[in-house]
Amino acid sequence: DAGITQSPRHKVTETGTPVTLRCHQTENHRYMYWYRQDPGHGLRLIHYSYGVKDTDKGEVSDGYSVSRSKTEDFLLTLESATSSQTSVYFCAISDPQQPQHFGDGTRLSIL
């Protein structure tokens, strides 16, 4: 789907451990986004990137950091995972003024 790959697709980990999710694109799109999806909340933006090494916070950025060292990769890191970060995480990409294209998500469970 639109050349977006999220890895891993599923992960179970323990509270307090670091977790990194990867989003890889083959479309050379400028913008990349990380969302979380929870019941009753729809999708909420965590962080986004508007270019290599250019990132900004979204609506629910506390407890998350991101990095984009090259156009094709956008990493989301939970430095010390908490149970409230159990969620489904989606990556999206877009060019300016264009709709977003989504990956198939990473289901993350923190016990």
Partner 1 sequence: SQQGEEDPQALSIQEGENATMNCSYKTSINNLQWYRQNSGRGLVHLILIRSNEREKHSGRLRVTLDTSKKSSSLLITASRAADTASYFCAERDFGNEKLTFGTGTRLTIIP
User: Does residue 45 bind partner 1 (CB under 8 A)?
Assistant: yes
The alpha carbons of the chain give a radius of gyration, in whole angstroms, of 13
- Collapsing DSSP to helix, strand or coil, 38 comes out as strand
Work out the burial of residue 33: count CB atoms within 10 Å of its CB; fewer than 13 is exposed, 13-18 middle, 19 or more buried.
Answer: buried
Nearer to partner 1 (CB atom), residue 80 or residue 98: 98
2 vs 58: CA distance, rounded Å:
23
User: Does residue 106 bind partner 1 (CB under 8 A)?
Assistant: no
Nearer to partner 1 (CB atom), residue 78 or residue 103: 103
The binding track of 50-69 with respect to partner 1, each residue x by CB under 8 A or -, is x-------xx----------
User: Does residue 89 bind partner 1 (CB under 8 A)?
Assistant: no
Q: Of these, 13, 22, 27, 43, which contacts partner 1 (CB under 8 A)?
A: 43
Please list, in sequence order, all residues whose beta carbon lies within 8 angstroms of the beta carbon of residue 37, skipping any fewer than 6 positions away: 43, 44, 87, 88, 89, 90, 105
Nearer to partner 1 (CB atom), residue 35 or residue 78: 35
81 vs 95: CA distance, rounded Å:
31
Binding region for partner 1 (CB under 8 A): 1, 4, 31, 33, 35, 40-45, 48, 50, 58-59, 90, 92, 94, 96-97, 99-105
